């Protein structure tokens, strides 16, 4: 398939996004950029957040992981363990966190920490969000950019750094003015195209293999792709770890994340925002199951076309990988390798459109949310009486541009890292960077104690990930071959909680259930 043809569709898609951004960003101001004037439609927010929650990582890594060999068996549908935990996490967000955010009338959710503990806790929470979201968003961006680079732009002689810079420039252009107000609509468009691409790929493979969904599931069961529950207590993939970890990952990466909650609190009423979260949870888990079905189908398709498992050297390790016509079907490249090399050109084009539809929601929202958090939480832009609206806007645009540059630097870091399964890196990073946020909010909500307004809070939040790292690296030796996996986030949050308890003193808990 011609790389130029595929690239032309990428450009056409971007032009459509620019048109949507122009239409929704007319007469925008700082308030529409930050929270959409609190007038977003909950159904649009819920649907658009599916794309943000899934991202290009889910689109590529989840299907690619089905046929990976781990511990002598296929990973299969094991990711559903994490997805079941998501349902618990979203329920906590809807019925515990959102009522707090709405009753306090928050623009930045980290204002909760300001009112509960003071300025240092507030700044610390915002700082950890900025670190967490920057690393997570750029890891997701890297994955999709790398796929586009490998299958399109390498063949056109375009360097990776140029590709990354151009895509970031595209995102800048359509988020510069409208912010959240624009993203609610662009995310809805992109989620629609992403899910459409997913469904079309599933239907094509079923027709090609002459299978029904039931017949395909039977075939997957025979091969061993339908494994869901891991019962090995010492394994990173043990089902209780995965379910509980999935719940806490959702609470931290969605409920304590300004990017995700920024869209929720842009909905006018609490009840509608709660409907948004519950709807998102149900649809998200259903779509994840569909991605896993697609993964199983991709490997059945490869097997039907003569693929075989062979020992392959990957990053200095000998692992079993599926090889098809001398092409390694490795992790994140499995889906694009099969689609772009073995499917008809029309399906390949649909895949590319769906892939970039998965790319932009995870990047545009992150860039906007980071700009909002830095402006509101770190430099207090909204409260600056010495600046007029134009000066505030100029400052906001400068911050927006600076974060784009930081994104580029981080993307290049992941490019040098060159790992074949970025989803594992993202979950590991989340365990380290979101743990202090989890500890801070949990301490505020579940204790009645007061914290001194000192930088000891920041020190504890920095020490907790360090201690967690030491425990994680030595767990197999210290705990009789026990491996720490997704529960790292919980350990990190607990260490933060205990550290905060150690420096706190008794006191009446602030009444955050009333409007401030």
Residue 126 above 80 pLDDT?
yes
Q: Does residue 469 belong to any structural domain of this protein?
A: no
Q: Does residue 159 belong to any structural domain of this protein?
A: yes
Q: What is the DSSP letter of 413?
A: H
pTM of the model: 0.78
pLDDT band per the 50, 70, 90 thresholds, residue 98 = very high
Position 389 scores a pLDDT of 76
Q: What is the DSSP letter of 383?
A: G
Strand partners, 455: none
The CA-atom distances, in angstroms, between 504 and each of 89, 126, 130, 425, 507 are 28, 21, 25, 34, 9
Position 331 scores a pLDDT of 66
Domain of residue 342, CATH code = 1.20.1730.10
Highest mean pLDDT among 169-173, 223-227, 478-482, 488-492: 488-492
Q: Does residue 491 belong to any structural domain of this protein?
A: no
Percent of the chain with pLDDT over 90: 15
Q: Does residue 434 belong to any structural domain of this protein?
A: no
φ, ψ of residue 441 in degrees (nearest 5): -65, -40
pLDDT band per the 50, 70, 90 thresholds, residue 503 = very high
Position 369 scores a pLDDT of 76
Higher pLDDT, residue 355 or 452: 452
pLDDT band per the 50, 70, 90 thresholds, residue 176 = low
d(CA 87, CA 250) in angstroms, rounded, equals 9
d(CA 102, CA 265) in angstroms, rounded, equals 7
- The total of structural domains in the chain comes to 1
Residue 41 above 60 pLDDT?
no
Domain hosting 312: range is: 3-417
Average pLDDT over all residues of the chain: 80
Residue partners of 59: CB distance under 8 A and separation at least 6: 144, 194, 198, 291, 335, 354, 355, 358
Strand partners, 40: 267
Residue 254 above 90 pLDDT?
no
Q: What is the pLDDT of residues 201-225, one digit of tens each?
A: 899 999 988 989 899 999 988 888 8
Q: Does residue 510 belong to any structural domain of this protein?
A: no
Give the residue from 252, 287, 261 showing the smallest Cα distance to 487. 252
Q: Does residue 462 belong to any structural domain of this protein?
A: no
Q: What is the DSSP letter of 421?
A: -
Q: Does residue 38 belong to any structural domain of this protein?
A: yes
Q: Does residue 489 belong to any structural domain of this protein?
A: no
Mean pLDDT score, 107-125: 88
d(CA 431, CA 421) in angstroms, rounded, equals 17
Torsion (CA) 124, 128, 131, 136 in degrees, nearest 10:
-170
């Amino acid at each position: 398939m011609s790389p130029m043809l595929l690239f032309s569709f990428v450009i056409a898609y971007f032009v459509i996004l620019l048109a949507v951004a122009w239409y929704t960003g007319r007469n925008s101001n700082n308030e529409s950029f930050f929270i959409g004037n609190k007038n977003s439609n909950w159904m649009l927010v819920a649907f658009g957040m599916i794309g943000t929650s899934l991202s290009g990582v889910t689109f590529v890594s989840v299907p690619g992981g089905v046929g990976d060999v781990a511990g002598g068996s296929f990973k299969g549908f094991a990711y559903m363990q994490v997805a079941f935990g998501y349902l618990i996490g979203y329920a906590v967000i809807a019925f515990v966190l959102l009522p707090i955010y709405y009753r306090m009338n928050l623009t930045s959710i980290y204002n909760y920490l300001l009112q509960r503990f003071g300025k240092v806790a507030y700044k610390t929470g915002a700082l950890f969000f900025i670190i967490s979201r920057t690393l997570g968003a750029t890891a997701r961006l890297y994955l999709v950019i790398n796929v586009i680079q490998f299958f399109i732009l390498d063949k056109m002689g375009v360097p990776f750094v140029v590709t990354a810079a151009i895509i970031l420039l595209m995102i800048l252009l359509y988020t510069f003015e409208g912010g959240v107000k624009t993203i609610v609509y662009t995310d809805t468009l992109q989620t629609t195209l992403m899910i459409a691409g997913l469904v079309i790929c599933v239907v094509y493979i079923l027709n090609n293999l002459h299978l029904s969904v039931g017949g395909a599931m039977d075939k997957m069961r025979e091969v061993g792709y339908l494994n869901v529950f891991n019962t090995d207590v010492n394994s990173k993939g043990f089902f209780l770890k995965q379910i509980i970890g999935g719940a806490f990952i959702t609470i931290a990466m969605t409920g304590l994340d300004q990017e995700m909650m920024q869209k929720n609190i842009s909905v006018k009423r609490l009840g509608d925002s709660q409907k948004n979260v519950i709807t998102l949870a149900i649809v998200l888990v259903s779509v994840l199951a569909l991605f896993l079905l697609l993964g199983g189908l991709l490997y059945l398709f490869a097997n039907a076309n003569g693929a075989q498992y062979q020992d392959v050297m990957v990053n200095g390790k000998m692992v079993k990988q599926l090889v098809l016509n001398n092409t390694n079907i490795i992790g994140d490249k499995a889906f694009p390798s099969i689609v772009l090399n073995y499917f008809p050109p029309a399906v390949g084009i649909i895949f590319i459109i769906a892939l970039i539809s998965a790319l932009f929601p995870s990047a545009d929202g992150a860039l906007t949310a980071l700009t909002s958090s830095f402006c509101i939480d770190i430099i207090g832009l909204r409260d600056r009486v010495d600046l007029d609206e134009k000066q505030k806007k100029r400052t906001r645009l400068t911050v927006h541009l600076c974060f784009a540059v930081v994104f580029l630097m981080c993307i290049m870091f992941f490019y040098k890292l060159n790992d074949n399964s970025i989803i594992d890196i993202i979950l590991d990073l989340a365990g380290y960077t979101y743990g202090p946020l989890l500890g801070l909010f949990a301490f505020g909500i579940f204790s009645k104690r007061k914290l001194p307004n000192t930088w000891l809070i920041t020190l504890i939040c920095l020490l907790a990930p360090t201690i967690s790292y030491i425990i994680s690296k030595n767990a197999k030796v210290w705990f009789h071959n026990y491996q720490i996996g997704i529960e790292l986030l919980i350990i990190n949050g607990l260490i933060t909680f205990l550290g905060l308890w150690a420096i706190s003193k008794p006191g009446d808990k602030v009444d955050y259930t009333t409007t401030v």
